[in-house]
Structure 1
């Protein structure tokens, strides 16, 4: 640490104690106190003020950055919400949080007045390759999805189409304040496809997790020593400290014989996390988690995506194992995997993250994910109470809970919770600054409430990933939207031509409603 850097020491405030322990609803306890983490041991410093209005600071590599005078929703249980506070970033790390910080004299100053600073959001399940067909499946059920994507069109994707989808998805994510994305990448039918997926993630300059998968073959064919997943791991992912890292993805087991055992053993031997589509109506067997348990692979590092159609006993198994659940509420409510199980999962203390699934259907907007999760959970509570002739007096799931799911919950699910997910000194600087002076946001009364129910992607003003500014003043700096659009439009046109005009039209307007 240079002599002019602050020590990331914590100044704890007794008022910042959680109402219910260090987990749920705790990070708002410090709201309005203005207390937090002070920079100490800076040496020659100054309380630098914002540069001239309209002037873009120089974000030269290695230059410290300080956000001045923001409303800081830290996500840290001890720090809560800081009013008119500063956040100092040096060498990709958050160094201090608090009012009137003394900072290095050469720090780039970002004006945080009329702004909300929050941790970068983390999406734990997105099929990025499908982004080139954005919006095609808005009328689909999950049966339509399997018909058109799995059985029909997935085979048309070339490596360049996978690249185009992944690159555009990362452009969209970063622009929208999603600083870490898990690419649930099940179009990797060849090593060339996998290389293209990885290239796009690296080229974006965002933080990402490539969850290697291949829907055209069982996992035990490609997730084995010497298989494509192993080859990519060895050549592209030698370090777990990269911006882009790798894990594995497949569906929960369907047979007691457990033919997937070699793939699970490979994941264990390579220390790779596994994310699974799980608890899906009519597709996931009720005993899927028992099969994993009986074979020794019901692991704390497992993520279960959707999980809405599990029997009650399965939630107990997840809780006992220490696993976590990724809720994709827009997906579950529209496609029919099962009702978003937020309530059942929370009752058992299972960690939750949020995800957007695919923009072939939905918005890929984590603000929408937070709202959809809250709406689904509260709506179910009201319906259950009213069925008993009662009325919900106080809502259970709160706005700060879903912000936690979208930030720290995502970091924890990816095994990155000690370095991401909150604005805490010592953590990496993945930060998002929202405008609070727009017609949708004024007057700023309660930052956490307004992040969930009023903020949109249009309010995302500034985005940092690993301390690097990728968006500033509402303008995307990196990656390149024009390039992403050009590539995606070419891939869309190619896949549309391969599908043929008749099927392309049928896919966008499926037959009228029916139940099978």
Structure 2
């Protein structure tokens, strides 16, 4: 018997329907697929294969899935860490406005490279990214051998780019990149959120989605208290009613955050078979309202809603670690509620198979089972921090880190081995990112140095902010808030 890859005598955490864990297991991969998962036998080390991984002291598990993220500004990691909330939001809005107008392409391109490299190293084999100009992301992740969903953010109340231009670019992106790189890269339709889009834009989005019925619709939903306020200004009872009105509340919907959802929202989402991406770290870091409820993930999962984990804007909270995202999900929920909101295995499933189901590809990846695509990672658990190796799922979500990832396969191809990326030039990526940040600082007046970061002064930031769209957003919210308070 000859196969492409054999991993033998390893701990194997399958994340299948029974959550089977082999203490000494073998995984065989051929033709990009997992062909066999079983207990190891004598002689497995001698199976003829292009790649043979001795699993002694190793843990094999499905690749991690980042179900909601933004990647273009990755080189600015560390730049926002110590800003106040309003200062951070103002600076980000100004930067996104300029990105939307075609500036900073050099920063975005290196951002995708830096993100792909760090996610690859950290065992993240699939991302779902919403960005302003996603073309470079599709190409970078495709060439790196990774799996990704990419789409262009569309909004008429967040920046001033003409709506027709946004839709034209989104359609061109879909036509060129959907199902590219042997199907590893897929396009999505991305209305930005339910607080910066008018009803007309939602209707145009629904028309675009109808043209491409096999694409996911990826958005921010019920993220803020303003979400339902904007929906009412758009002539709907609430956000989910608006999406239902235009025909977008269905099994293609991937809704990031879902923080202010109530029991009725949960029931409607479950009935529609829509999915949710939970991003705990970004709100644990930048929570705008301490009294706001936490995303009701246990209730969503109990209702049958697929919930994956996303790292969101990782450069806002300085972490590429999806293992850390699982730990943060537990800690934040336990603090907001009480202890015991998740078992460790539930969090492992949210990192893998439930993330895959969230993106509509649970029949392809997310668990180690025969006939699934071979998206796998191998962790080195022969380390003091994993000793004694009891409760493996708890170690994965509480203790593991990107530095523990040793080997990564995507679609059966080995993209990292022995901790060394095979499909990307580490030094070249780092050099390009450093040059891009130096250029960005020179062009914008941002101060980025070893001791910290400081954006341009308030006057310069205000000058760079989009004007027409955000002013309409603020006025619409103000008028609707007044109507809610003083109905007539």
TM-score normalised to the size of structure 1? 0.77
The Cα of 1:196 is off from its aligned counterpart by 2.6
Question: Could you say which residue in structure 2 is the equivalent of 1:351?
Answer: 306
Instruction: Tell me the distance in 2 between the aligned counterparts of 1:452 and 1:412.
Output: 19
The Cα of 1:212 is off from its aligned counterpart by 2.0
Tell me the SS of whatever aligns to 2:48: coil
Instruction: Tell me the distance in 1 between the aligned counterparts of 2:413 and 2:256.
Output: 30
Superposed CA RMSD in Å reads 2.6
Q: Is 1:369 matched up with 2:325? A: yes
Q: Is 1:405 matched up with 2:350? A: yes
Instruction: Tell me the distance in 1 between the aligned counterparts of 2:199 and 2:154.
Output: 21
Question: Could you say which residue in structure 1 is the equivalent of 2:58?
Answer: 115
The Cα of 1:270 is off from its aligned counterpart by 0.8
Instruction: Tell me the distance in 1 between the aligned counterparts of 2:12 and 2:438.
Output: 44
Bigger mean CA offset, 133-142 vs 160-169: 133-142
Instruction: Tell me the distance in 2 between the aligned counterparts of 1:145 and 1:267.
Output: 33
The Cα of 1:243 is off from its aligned counterpart by 1.6
Question: Could you say which residue in structure 2 is the equivalent of 1:201?
Answer: 141
Instruction: Tell me the distance in 2 between the aligned counterparts of 1:446 and 1:502.
Output: 45
Q: Is 1:251 matched up with 2:192? A: yes
Instruction: Tell me the distance in 2 between the aligned counterparts of 1:347 and 1:249.
Output: 27
Structure ranking higher in helix proportion: 2
The Cα of 1:158 is off from its aligned counterpart by 2.8
Cα distance change of structure 1 residues 257 and 429 upon mapping to structure 2, 3 Å threshold: closer
Instruction: Tell me the distance in 1 between the aligned counterparts of 2:192 and 2:373.
Output: 32
Picking from 207, 210, 214, the partner of 1:265 is 207
Bigger mean CA offset, 94-103 vs 347-356: 94-103
Instruction: Tell me the distance in 2 between the aligned counterparts of 1:438 and 1:232.
Output: 45
Q: Is 1:164 matched up with 2:116? A: no
Contact 1:303 1:323 in 2 (8 A): yes
The Cα of 1:302 is off from its aligned counterpart by 0.6
Query: What's the CA shift string for 1:116-144, capped at 9, x where partnerless?
Result: 10000000111110101011111346543
Cα distance change of structure 1 residues 158 and 199 upon mapping to structure 2, 3 Å threshold: farther
Cα distance change of structure 1 residues 209 and 233 upon mapping to structure 2, 3 Å threshold: same
Q: Is 1:418 matched up with 2:418? A: no
Q: How many pairs align?
A: 431
Question: Could you say which residue in structure 2 is the equivalent of 1:129?
Answer: 72
Q: Map of 1:297-316 to 2, 5 A cutoff? A: 297-316=248-267
Tell me the SS of whatever aligns to 1:208: strand
Tell me the SS of whatever aligns to 2:407: strand
Query: What's the CA shift string for 1:249-282, capped at 9, x where partnerless?
Result: 2233457744321122111221221111121224
TM-score normalised to the size of structure 2? 0.82
Question: Could you say which residue in structure 2 is the equivalent of 1:22?
Answer: none
Contact 1:331 1:356 in 2 (8 A): yes
Instruction: Tell me the distance in 1 between the aligned counterparts of 2:95 and 2:57.
Output: 49
Cα distance change of structure 1 residues 246 and 86 upon mapping to structure 2, 3 Å threshold: same
